[in-house]
Amino acid sequence: MLIREPRNPIITKEQVKPTSDDLVVVGVFNCGAVKYKGEIILLLRVAETFAEQNHEYIQIPIAKKQGKKTYSIKKVSKKNKQFDFNDSRYVYKIQEYRHIENLTSISHMRLARSTDGINFSIDDEPTIFPETKYEEWGIEDPRITYLEGNYYITYSAVSHNGVCVGLLKTKNFKTFERLGIIFSPENKDTVIFPEKINGKYYAYHRPVPTDIGYPEIWLSSSPDLLHWGAHEHILGSETDNWSVQKIGAGIPPIKTKDGWLNIYHGVDKENKYYLSSFLTPLDDPTKIIKITKKPLLSPTEDYEKIGFYPNVVFACGAILENDMIYIYYGAADDKIAKASISLASLLALHS
């Protein structure tokens, strides 16, 4: 249903310069997107790990002190039977249940710019680097919302304390202000609405329950973007077999004549990721009025099926321009691709 850009993937890890000589980029993906001063800006998630690895142990990067763009090294023996290394993203500790001991890479954010939406120049240095104790394992999956003269960036802050949601603010994509943690662990996939509704700020987010319930989309409101409450469950993961395992918000909501357009992702029982969408009234984001019955995008191309983590299409950002929606999505957790659809065509798919 979405039309893939013929030149996909448009950004690959080979185009990104590592932070230092002892690191290698293992993925560039899951980017925020915005139009700024005539350019399309992507805020890339760049994942790195140590270039030299040993067959006996894995070297894991951990962010160092605040303000230092360097990492310390943690070594985990591959012979240690306490650990499971079968998932390329994590080192699991085997105990009563599988527990993530560490990530195998660490992510920061990097700016890319383009005038045509296809050919991007990528900064050589990290734009936003892990700094706080809640970011020692990295900062991931930025979403950008333009709101009241500022660009607000939600992101996943990852540490041994879990995954929580951080908030950044900028006016110029040169200087950034950390506003702190807005949702405690375990939570991610947070998108902020681009305007107040009935005097309140709103955001979709995705708590991750363990013993009871599933990772699904919730809505919260705030008087100031920092303190969130009035939490409501919005959409469950049991709707279709392509989203049976979990779902989460994707790009920040887009205002249309038919309501707020929300593009989200779902994961099936085989860990394949898909994109779909739903509509809510402009004056009430708690109610889903229309939803697409089938995925808008499925991992069918080689660059989506083969990579750091296979069979993934995952969107964090999109541009609406001249009635066209241009979606920038992560493919197989190591590259960025682009797909498009007319707004009218997408709205017509909702029933």
Average pLDDT over every residue of 189-195:
98
Q: Which residue has the higher pLDDT, 279 or 100?
A: 279
Task: Assign 53 a pLDDT band (cuts: 50, 70, 90).
Answer: confident
Quote the CA–CA distance of 166 and 181 in Å, as a whole number.
4
Q: Which residue has the higher pLDDT, 261 or 88?
A: 261
Contacts of 348 (CB under 8 A, 6+ apart): none
Q: What is the pLDDT of residues 225-271, one digit of tens each?
A: 999 999 999 999 876 789 999 999 999 999 999 999 999 999 999 99
Instruction: Tell me the residue range of the domain where 50 lies.
Output: 3-348
Per-residue pLDDT at 65 = 63
Whether the bond between 142 and the residue before it is cis, its omega within 30 degrees of 0, is no
Structure tokens at 87: 């998932």
Average pLDDT over every residue of 325-330:
98
Task: Assign 95 a pLDDT band (cuts: 50, 70, 90).
Answer: low
The number of folded domains in the chain is: 1
CATH classification of the domain holding 166: 2.115.10.20
Task: Assign 97 a pLDDT band (cuts: 50, 70, 90).
Answer: low
Task: Give 13's DSSP letter.
Answer: G
* This model's pTM is above 0.85: yes
Quote the CA–CA distance of 342 and 331 in Å, as a whole number.
21
Q: Residues for the chain: how many in total?
A: 351
Task: Assign 337 a pLDDT band (cuts: 50, 70, 90).
Answer: very high
